[in-house]
Amino acid sequence: MQNMPFATIFALDLCRIKQCVFFFVCGKCMDVRRKNMRKIHLSVLLLFSVLSLLFLQWGRTHSASAAQQKQAIQEDLTEKTQKAQQDKAILEKLSKQERSIYSDLAEIEDRIQGLLDKIEGYKEKRKQAEKKKQALAKKATALQDELTAQRNELARMLEQLWKLYFQNQHPGLSSWQSFSDADLQFTWLSEIYSTAGMRLEQLQAKEKKLKTNLARQKKHQADISEQLALIQATQDKLLKNRLLFLRRLQKVRTQRLAKEEQLLQIKDTIQDLQYKLKDFESKKIVEFKGRLPWPVNGKLSKTFNPKGNPPQDGFAFTTSKHADVRCIFWGKVVYSDSLRGFGQVVVIFHGKKYYSLYAFLSTVGVSVGQDVEKGEVLGQTGFYPLVEGPGLYFELRQGQSPINPGSWLASQS
């Protein structure tokens, strides 16, 4: 029987317990109220005596199981804490990478902006060079027109000089009156021709200089275009690098966000495990003495008086009809059935031989072997003869001995 589960052991012995209580309390003097109360008192005592013997071994097994669960929680907590530290280190590394990429991106952006400024400067230079080239081309065209006119004028003068020379060689054909007139006109034309020739040479020299400047300007403009092409190529390369860095940044950022989410989940799990561990460490009813909640909302009609006549081993509450009856502390249901003289009864085992009893219930919502939480509804109040209406009889016991609930329950205003 020691290896049988708690619910099975209790199911086998439940009828035996009720029979023991029944035969103990039944007698020929049941018509006397005082004797009835004493026998009812003894029925509860017998119940807790049997429960104490029945659950002695179970309490040891339960303690060992709780210790194993606590150890498992501590191991899981240690594992999750180590995982959180590892993820935190990875997160710091990802954050450092992200900052480094941001720094590289900022440097690339600065270089791109510098190149954009240079591009604008070279475009302005190319624009000015184009204007200068156009001005030089315009001057060259005007000079070419002037040279053409000067050449035409020299050709005309040369024709006149040729006529004078021809007439001088053939005097009979001349229309001049004297040789001196012809010589004077020839000299004058020669001087003009010489001057025009010099002007032509100047214009040719100027044309040559303009052509040289124009060629130099074209070369300068070509150099600007070449530099501009190189800068734009560098800009394209930087833009590609920026795109690569942005992709790397997106990848690292995605990893960082995912790791942050994972770390938050691990921290939540750690917090839950810490709460569970705290629950294991704090689920000792003695540590909550004087702070336990009341089992029901109602008026306290009878207080603890074990030496009274008849004895009062617990509290009697007057309540509204079908008021909720709540568990005062974490524990396990060890009895949930009718008990002669107490109606529907629920007994909760809280560990360390501490029990709580809830009697005169109209309905019960828990079963034997069930774990219950602090504040969980066990059932609703029913008719309580002592208060002549709906109410609750509540006891606290350590082993078989009743203890004063007033020292354990929180004070009520």
- Backbone angles phi and psi of 398, in degrees to 5: -115, 105
The C-alpha torsion from 157 through 161 and 162 to 168, rounded to 10°, is 160
Alpha-carbon gap, residue 88 to 81, rounded angstroms: 10
Residue 56, burial from CB neighbour count under 10 angstroms (0-12, 13-18, 19+): exposed
**Count of helix runs (H) and strand runs (E) in the chain:** 4, 10
Residue 283, burial from CB neighbour count under 10 angstroms (0-12, 13-18, 19+): middle
Residue partners of 397: CB distance under 8 A and separation at least 6: 48, 354, 355, 356, 357, 403
| Residue 228, token pair as written in the block | 């501009």
Question: For residue 390, is the peptide bond before it cis, meaning its omega torsion is within 30 degrees of 0?
Answer: no
Residue partners of 299: CB distance under 8 A and separation at least 6: 317, 318, 319
Report whether 21 contacts 41 (CB < 8 A). Answer: no
State pLDDT tens for residues 18-76: 444 443 333 333 343 445 555 555 556 666 665 655 555 555 555 566 677 778 888 88
- So what's the pLDDT on residue 340? 85
From first to last of its 413 residues, the chain has per-residue pLDDT tens of 334 444 444 444 444 444 444 433 333 333 434 455 555 555 566 666 656 555 555 555 555 666 777 788 888 888 989 999 999 999 899 999 999 988 988 998 898 888 888 888 888 888 887 888 788 788 878 878 877 887 787 777 777 666 666 666 655 545 555 667 666 766 776 777 787 778 778 878 877 887 888 788 788 888 888 888 888 888 888 889 889 888 988 999 999 999 899 999 999 888 887 777 766 666 788 888 999 999 999 999 999 998 888 889 999 999 999 999 999 998 999 999 998 889 999 999 998 889 999 999 999 999 998 999 899 999 999 999 999 999 999 999 998 899 999 999 998 75
Alpha-carbon gap, residue 260 to 263, rounded angstroms: 5
Residue partners of 180: CB distance under 8 A and separation at least 6: none
- So what's the pLDDT on residue 195? 78
Helix (H) or strand (E) holding 346: strand 343-351
HSE at residue 103, side-chain half, CA atoms within 13 A, is 6
SS (H, E, C) 75-123: HHHHHHHHHHHHHHHHHHHHHHHHHHHHHHHHHHHHHHHHHHHHHHHHH
State pLDDT tens for residues 370-379: 999 899 999 9
Q: Name residue, tokens 């309490």.
A: 59
Alpha-carbon gap, residue 140 to 326, rounded angstroms: 111
- So what's the pLDDT on residue 17? 46
pTM over 0.85: no
Helix (H) or strand (E) holding 179: helix 179-282
- So what's the pLDDT on residue 282? 63
Domains and CATH numbers, the chain: 6-54+285-407 (2.70.70.10), 98-268 (1.10.287.1490)
Alpha-carbon gap, residue 116 to 54, rounded angstroms: 90
